[in-house]
Amino acid sequence: MKLNASNLTSLSTALILGLSVFSAQAEKVVSLEQAITLAQQNDPWLHGSRLKQSAVENRSIASGTLPDPKVSLGIMNLPTDTWDLDQEGMTQLTVGVSQMFPRGDSLEIKQDQLQIESTKFPLLREDRKAKLKSQVSQLWLDAYLAQKTIKLIEDDWSLFEQMAEVAKASYSNVVGKTRQQDVIRAQLEIVQLDDRLTSQKQKLETTIARLNEWLHIYDSARLNESFNFDAQPLEFSVSKELPSIRLKNPTVLKASNYSRNRLAQELANHPAILAIDVKRKASEKGVELAKQQYEPQWGVNASYAYRDNMPSGDNRADLFSVGVTFDLPLFTENRQDKQVAASIAESEAVKTEKLLLTKQMISEVEKELRQLKRLSDRQSIYQEQLLKQTHDQAEASLTAYTNDDGDFAEVVRARIAELNARISALRIDVDALKTVARINYFFAHSQSKSNAEHKPLHTSHKTNQHLSNKQFGEK
């Protein structure tokens, strides 16, 4: 591929970003924004889409050109007894040329059809980038959840070890109410905690491996060469802070004025929907092209015939011929009529594809909105009640046990409950952000249309305040 200024700029940006992420071997920390940018700038699918668009555009130019003329050379009426060119007056050396013309306006229509088809590739690339942003966000947040869960478990690890040591010392010195089963219970909890830690490390490593698929930097100008896959580190960590992702178009999705028709209007500017519109327009051109089969196909031919002089030396006149050929589409019932009917059916079928995808998107948005609402409710429960109550319970059970007025098993249960509550609260926060990222995919509006065609939607103060309380910031 020939490198131009745009390609060089894009490549240099990707390389600089990649070096900034991966060159610091001591840290190897990747933020969500860096992961999304790397994935979108280094996706081979996008490069392949540009090549396919170029192929269709070139094919469009080629399809608008007349077919090549045909040239014929021959000897006519050569006598077989002597094989002399001057024996018979009918013997001729002929040179002919013929040119066929397509039916009606089929060349122009076919060219327009391919030009229309080429416009779907930018839309497909926009849809691909939106999907990449959503998918990479899911993987990055999964990695963050596993990484943060590991940190929470490791932070409480020393506490559980101290509890086990205290239980063992109390049992050995016959102090208080400590029993052998308390010592075993404390050791069992440490083993189970170790298993949870190992399980989270497994999730982190597998998620990082999946995320690595999208972070590989490559040079599209060297597709025929071997890539250095070892240049990318096998292990890295994600940022320690939970990113903020704001819900797009919250006004449209607000329960007080929610309308499926309005949502469908917003989704109509999604790249995937617009790509189906392009497909529909191309199919309409296909109907026009099929109707051109009713037109006759014309051809022009001309030939020049050379004749040798007579044996007596008298001159023979050369001959020139010109003619026109055309076919007559008279029996159209089983050919042209059926081809037009088939093209019309295909065009109508594309309309059902748009309706089907729109219904699917509306259903997915509604499902994610209901999930987001319940996650928001659970966030309130954990932040306002559960986290504080489990902490107070753990402190109270420990105080009661140290005053010989409580059960050691209750202390362990309370500490496990507090740890579980903190992990659950973290998982809810991450699931909420993942839900927002999935919803935002459906509002990835195409940039190919003028912004004036769509009025900006303003978020209400109440909605902004609610989202800000749930840590859904601008991304």
Residue 133 has pLDDT above 60, yes or no: yes
Percent of the chain topping pLDDT 90: 50
Say if residues 407 and 186 touch (Cβ distance below 8 Å). Answer: no
Two structure tokens written together for 143: 């990695």
Question: In this predicted structure, which of 169-173, 265-269, 332-336, 442-446 has the lowest mean pLDDT?
Answer: 169-173
pLDDT of residue 236: 74
Residue 6 has pLDDT above 70, yes or no: no
Rg of the chain in Å (alpha carbons)? 38
Is residue 475 very low, low, confident or very high in pLDDT (cuts 50, 70, 90)? very low
Which residue range forms the structural domain that includes residue 370?
A: 42-446
Is residue 381 very low, low, confident or very high in pLDDT (cuts 50, 70, 90)? very high
Distance CA 170, CA 28 (A): 45
Angle, alpha carbons 176-179-180 (nearest 5°): 145
pLDDT of residue 183: 67
Question: In this predicted structure, which of 62-66, 83-87, 143-147, 379-383 has the lowest mean pLDDT?
Answer: 83-87
218 lies in a domain?
Answer: yes
pLDDT of residue 25: 42
pLDDT of residue 330: 82
Residue 132 burial (C-beta neighbours within 10 Å; 0-12, 13-18, 19+): buried
Question: In this predicted structure, which of 77-81, 160-164, 249-253, 466-470 has the lowest mean pLDDT?
Answer: 466-470
Helix, strand, coil distribution of the chain in percent, nearest 5:
65, 10, 30
Highest mean pLDDT (candidates 186-190, 371-375, 392-396)? 371-375
Percent of the chain topping pLDDT 70: 79
Residue 235 has pLDDT above 90, yes or no: no
33 lies in a domain?
Answer: no
Distance CA 360, CA 83 (A): 79
pLDDT in tens, 286-298: 999 999 989 998 9
* Pairwise pLDDT comparison (217 vs 167), residue with the higher score: 217
| CA 190 remoteness from chain centre | 43
* Pairwise pLDDT comparison (118 vs 2), residue with the higher score: 118
Q: If you average pLDDT over residues 422-442, what whole number do you get?
A: 95
* Pairwise pLDDT comparison (316 vs 174), residue with the higher score: 316
233 lies in a domain?
Answer: yes
Question: In this predicted structure, which of 233-237, 320-324, 381-385 has the lowest mean pLDDT?
Answer: 233-237
Q: Which residue from 413, 400, 416, 410 is spatially nearest to 176, judged by alpha carbons?
A: 400
| Cα 245 to Cα 37, 134, 472, distances in angstroms | 15, 11, 5
Is residue 180 very low, low, confident or very high in pLDDT (cuts 50, 70, 90)? low
pLDDT in tens, 20-45: 444 444 358 889 999 999 999 889 89
pLDDT in tens, 51-106: 999 999 999 999 989 999 999 999 999 888 888 888 888 889 999 999 999 998 99
Say if residues 246 and 473 touch (Cβ distance below 8 Å). Answer: yes
Distance CA 414, CA 408 (A): 10
Say if residues 188 and 163 touch (Cβ distance below 8 Å). Answer: no
* Pairwise pLDDT comparison (470 vs 328), residue with the higher score: 328
Distance CA 76, CA 348 (A): 55
455 lies in a domain?
Answer: no
DSSP 8-state symbol, 96: E
pLDDT of residue 377: 95
* Pairwise pLDDT comparison (207 vs 225), residue with the higher score: 207
pLDDT in tens, 16-26: 444 444 444 43
Angle, alpha carbons 122-135-380 (nearest 5°): 125
Sign for the CA dihedral angle at 78, 79, 84, 85 comes to: negative
Q: If you average pLDDT over residues 186-209, what whole number do you get?
A: 87
131 lies in a domain?
Answer: yes
424 lies in a domain?
Answer: yes
Is residue 414 very low, low, confident or very high in pLDDT (cuts 50, 70, 90)? confident
State the CATH number of the domain containing residue 275. 1.20.1600.10
Question: In this predicted structure, which of 160-169, 181-190, 302-311, 419-428 has the lowest mean pLDDT?
Answer: 160-169
β-bridge pairing 237-238 and 298-306: unpaired
pLDDT in tens, 303-344: 999 988 888 778 889 999 999 999 888 888 888 889 999 999
Q: In total, how many domains does the chain have?
A: 1
16 lies in a domain?
Answer: no
12 lies in a domain?
Answer: no
**What is the pTM assigned to this prediction?**
0.78
